[in-house]
Amino acid sequence: MFRLTAFPLRTFLALLLGACLMALSAPAANASSRIKDIVDVEGIRDNMLVGYGLVVGLNGTGDTLRNTPFTQQSLTGMLERLGVNTRGTNMKTENVAAVMVSANLPAFSTQGSRIDVTVSALGDATNLQGGVLLVTPLMGADGQVYAVAQGSLATGGFSATGEAASVVRGVPTNGRIANGAIVEREIDFALDDLRTLRLSLRNPDLTTAQRIATAINTYLGTPTARADNSSIVEISVPSSYRGGVVALLTEIEQLRVQPDLIARVVIDEASGVIVMGQDVRVSKVAIAQGNLTISVSETPQVSQPSPFSTQGDTVVVPRTDVNVDEEEGKQLGIIDGSISLKELVDGLNTLGVSPRDMITILQAIKSSGALQADIEVM
């Protein structure tokens, strides 16, 4: 049961005014972004690591040693280090696989901390499920060992094979070990000793870079930031923040700016996906879309002689049916100038245009000079 409550007129007007103010202020708040979400601080980055190792414990799904000699050589060398001599013997095990191990070393990772690793088959192994990675050194681009990986693999795919059929789901030759590597060497980076900070925009844009510099200068009250180009905003660390760069970055990252983007249309012709930015505009243009479809169908018929006839043969008589569809009713449509993204999409949908035909139309509009945006074909 519902109960109606009478509100005083003054209370009702106050609630209505509050709702209108929230509605007007919500888009502006949602449109802005924090500086930390659109820039990277130069020097604070991940470092890529890679290593070569062996996965053991596979259920007959490992490398075939006669086809992958590097697996046999690695297995022989590992066993020799453990005091087992296998040189000259013909090993036929299929429970071992040679793998490449990769990982990202986050910035400021300390010695003894753990990171995730990805393991990928290098030979002809068919499934790494249930395998265990043996101790594998992970090296950086300078050839130094920064972490050591070991552990049980977790694969996202599986494979099942029988005598007459097989099923493969996902990629069973690729796995992951959560917290599978221990950091052995730290990368020194004295952040607090910096006198100049450089912010790198993830989507380079001159307008966005200038807005970031203006927001920082307004907050700090001094002209310490300037936009060098569309990608870099340089900040001179104020004297009050010397030795406290972390505190400066913490305050700057929370500032909000409105990013500015280039009008762009991204097209993936393989899947028919179209993504258009909100600033895409189209000048006045006329569009006609239609296809000529010709279908040919063959329906052969069998002709036989009459029963008990002594003459005549059984023959196949061809029957061909040709249909031509010119899609009549398709008319020339006019799209008014300076229309928005929503109006453009609504207009093309009104013409009954499929996504793949829309790709061709957008490219044609761009060629005519009526599309005020860049087209990027993936």
Please check whether residue 5 lies inside any domain of the structure: no
**246 in the same domain as 145:** no
**CA-based nearest residue to 36, from 264, 263, 216:** 216
The region of weakest confidence among 86-100, 164-178, 183-197, 323-337 is 323-337
Query: What is the average pLDDT across 30-46?
Result: 88
d(CA 122, CA 100): 6
**66 in the same domain as 174:** yes
**118 in the same domain as 89:** yes
Q: Are the C-beta atoms of 149 and 97 separated by less than 8 Å?
A: no
Those residues whose C-beta lies under 8 Å from the C-beta of residue 244, and which sit 6 or more positions away, are 192
Please check whether residue 208 lies inside any domain of the structure: yes
Bridge partner list, 274 = 267
Domains identified in the chain, total number: 3
Query: What is the average pLDDT across 31-59?
Result: 92
Quickly count: other Cβ atoms within 10 Å of residue 234's Cβ: 16
Please check whether residue 311 lies inside any domain of the structure: no
Mean residue pLDDT across the chain: 80
From the number of C-beta atoms within 10 Å of its C-beta (0-12, 13-18, 19+), residue 35 rates as buried
pLDDT score recorded for residue 200: 95
d(CA 187, CA 48): 12
Kindly report the pTM of this predicted structure: 0.67
The region of weakest confidence among 130-134, 194-198, 312-316, 365-369 is 312-316
**346 in the same domain as 229:** no
E strands, 27-129, where? 33-34, 39-41, 47-56, 97-105, 114-121
**269 in the same domain as 243:** no
**99 in the same domain as 210:** no
Q: Are the C-beta atoms of 347 and 361 separated by less than 8 Å?
A: no
The domain containing residue 238 runs over which residues?
190-257
Relative to beta strand 264-268, strand 374-377 is parallel
**93 in the same domain as 213:** no
**Structural domain ending residue among the three candidates 183, 208, 227:** 183
Flag whether pLDDT at 320 surpasses 80.
no
Please check whether residue 17 lies inside any domain of the structure: no
**336 in the same domain as 242:** no
d(CA 279, CA 276): 8
SS3 284: coil
Query: What is the average pLDDT across 114-140?
Result: 94
Bridge partner list, 165 = none
**285 in the same domain as 171:** no
Please check whether residue 37 lies inside any domain of the structure: no
**206 in the same domain as 139:** no
Please check whether residue 11 lies inside any domain of the structure: no
Query: What is the average pLDDT across 226-251?
Result: 92
Please check whether residue 23 lies inside any domain of the structure: no
Matching residue, tokens 């972004």: 33
**Structural domain ending residue among the three candidates 257, 273, 288:** 257
pLDDT, tens only, 156-200: 876 666 666 667 777 889 999 999 999 999 988 888 889 999 999
**246 in the same domain as 225:** yes
**352 in the same domain as 253:** no
Between 342 and 110, the more confident residue is 110
Please check whether residue 73 lies inside any domain of the structure: yes
d(CA 192, CA 43): 12
Relative to beta strand 114-121, strand 256-257 is unpaired
pLDDT score recorded for residue 288: 65
pLDDT score recorded for residue 22: 45
CATH number at residue 240: 3.30.70
